[in-house]
Structures are given as C-alpha cells and as structure tokens.
Amino acid sequence: MKTSGVLISGLGSFLPDRVPIGWAVERNLIDRSAAEQYGITSVTVAGDVPAPEMAVRACRQALERAGQDAGSLSLLLYVSVWYQGPHGWCPQYYVQRHTGAGRATAAEVRQGCMGMFSALELAASHLMAAPENEAALVTSGENFTSDLLERWRFSPHFVMGDAGSAIVLSRREGFARLKSVNAVTLPEYEAMHRGPEPLFPPGAGRAGRLDFGDSKHRWLDGPDRDPAGPLKLVAAQDELVSRTLEEAGITMDDVSRVAYANGSRERVEGRAMVPLGLPMSLSTWEQGRTVGHIGASDQTVALEQLLLTGALRPGDHFLMLGVGPGLNIACAVIEIVDTPLWSTARPAAAS
C-alpha cells in the first residue's frame, strides 16, 4: 500500500538488561556450537516485568518524544506474539488506560513477528481515511520468560529476547515518512509452525513446550509440505519488496539500511541481504545480535537505534523486512526527513 501524508513523529522502546549468551551456554540452555554459529552475543531478559508494562513504558517515551497528547489519539494497536497476561484479558486496554489514550479505538493485532507491519498498514489506512484522524499509536510488548518455551533454543537460528516498542504516526508532523507498507500470506505454509497437536483443546491448556524446530521438521517430512519448497517463499518476497520499493518511488540503490528479524548472521544474510543484493554492512544485525529476537519489535527498535547513533540522516531510506508464522512476509519503506530532537546526532544549539 502506498501511503500519503503519514509521518512518524515518535519512537520509544524499553529494553531490559542483557544476558550474555555465554551464561546460557554454561548452564546448557543452548548448545555451544549453536551459540557460536548464530553469532548472537546476548539477549534482553525482563524477568517478571509484564509484557504490557514494557509496552506502556515504550509508549510513554514515544508520546513524549512526539509531543503528542495521548488523549487526542484516534487509534491504538497492540501487537502481540506471546501470551500477554490472564486468560480472557485484553492487553490493549491496559496500555490505553496507563497512557491516557481513552478516546482511541483500541485493538490487538496477533500476527506473529511481522505484526508490526500489519499494524502500521492498518494505522496508516485509518489516518488517511478521514481528516479528523490525526494520530495513531502502534505498540508491542513481549516477555518470553515462560515454562511453555525455551527462549534459548525454541527455534533454529533465533534466541528470544524481551522488549517493548512503540511508534506514533501523525498526519501533522514528524521526522520520517512512511512511504509504503505491504504484506503477503502463503497459507499453504500454515502447518509449518503448528506441529502434530490437535487444534482443540488450545495449547495453553496442555503440558508441553513450543518447539518451532520440531514442528518445522515434521512439516518438511509430512504430507503438508509444499512441493515447491522455499522457491515460492523467495519469489513472494522478491515480488513484495519490488512492489514496496516501486510504491515508495525508489530503487534498491536508494536504500540506506535494512532491518530484518533478529536471527543468526546466517539467517539474516541468507534470507534478507543476499536476496536484496546488499552487503551485511547495511543490515542492522550488529545491533540485533545484542538483544535477540524481540518479537514484533525487531525493526522498530533497530530504527530507533540508528537514529540515536546518527546512522540514519535526512534523505536516507530505511527498508524493513519481516516474516512470521502463517506464513506471512512483510516489507515497508521509511524516508528520514529530519533529525529528531531526541537524537544524539542533532547538533547542539549555538550559545
């Protein structure tokens, strides 16, 4: 979807303390060979801080940086990957209550690790639909401390970290422009992350741990495997990226930096940078390897960190690429139009 007049006015994040991967190796939580292969140095671990609370802290920072009154927001979207709190409870209303965004329509977007892209697309559509819709808030929070998964080895090439992130979209002002955002679903891959368990009763009510590696191997060896293999996925991603770049009015040569899901170096290089024809030096892997795969917040936190360090400047284009169970692939292009006031790259005012 080509967007018009949709600006990013605020970014926020909450990153808990980092735990070195060597700590997990010493305790046999991850194989030493896998840790060395992945190249991930640490992951963020929140302990008992609830996921929605991390999202609230990120939202408050993003709203403050944007100078945005939460009471004037018309939409609040909460992106979730893992369990958020008590059964039957909705985390978006907790965020709404604790940020003062009581006038906004609030909803949860549960679409795996690429949910932020869909939330951005929905929020942008909302802002473009009516002139009275001036600002929207998109947020996510995840705490993977759980007996239902092993954060250090639940999926090949990924180690899970905890975080909260937030984006304020505005029709009035901002330091960046959302130029295009798109997603595509390959439902024939749906069973890849489901495994052999029945659909009922739901998994949260049964013993056992989530293991994407095991479910993927079962899918590859089972009757649901797509005979086209990964070729269909590669072709779909190529088409998606080309369409997103075209809608943004740029080419790959105009892309300054790329953020992909925070996986191993092999995964980021093989699934993102090589297909894009770009060197790893333009990826955000060096930052991502210090926090791990923080759910739907990977690309948002990467954008914030690039702005904080001055690695992105006015005129640069930032390409976000994501993938999630389903199987979903998503892409977005963001143009930096100004250096945000909260960035350390902004020159100090003359005395």
The model's pLDDT over 123-159, given as tens digits with 9 standing for 90+, comes to 999 999 999 999 999 999 999 999 888 999 988 999 9
Q: What is the pLDDT of residue 6?
A: 98
Q: What is the pLDDT of residue 351?
A: 34
Q: What is the pLDDT of residue 1?
A: 97
The model's pLDDT over 168-180, given as tens digits with 9 standing for 90+, comes to 999 999 999 999 9
Q: What is the pLDDT of residue 192?
A: 77
Q: Tokens standing for 182?
A: 């798109």
pTM: 0.92
Q: Read out DSSP for 243-270?
A: HHHHHHT--GGGEEEEE--S--HHHHII
91: exposed, middle or buried (Cβ count in 10 Å: 0-12, 13-18, 19+) = buried
Q: Read out DSSP for 273-310?
A: IHHHT--GGGBSHHHHTTT-B-GGGHHHHHHHHHHHHT
Distance CA 224, CA 188 (A): 8
The model's pLDDT over 74-129, given as tens digits with 9 standing for 90+, comes to 999 999 999 999 988 999 999 999 999 999 999 999 999 999 999 999 999 999 99
Long-range CB contacts (within 8 A, 24+) of 343-351? 343/307, 343/308, 343/310, 344/308, 344/309, 344/310, 345/307, 345/308, 345/309, 345/310, 345/313
Task: List, in order of start, the domains of the chain with CATH numbers.
Answer: 7-173 (3.40.47.10), 179-336 (3.40.47.10)
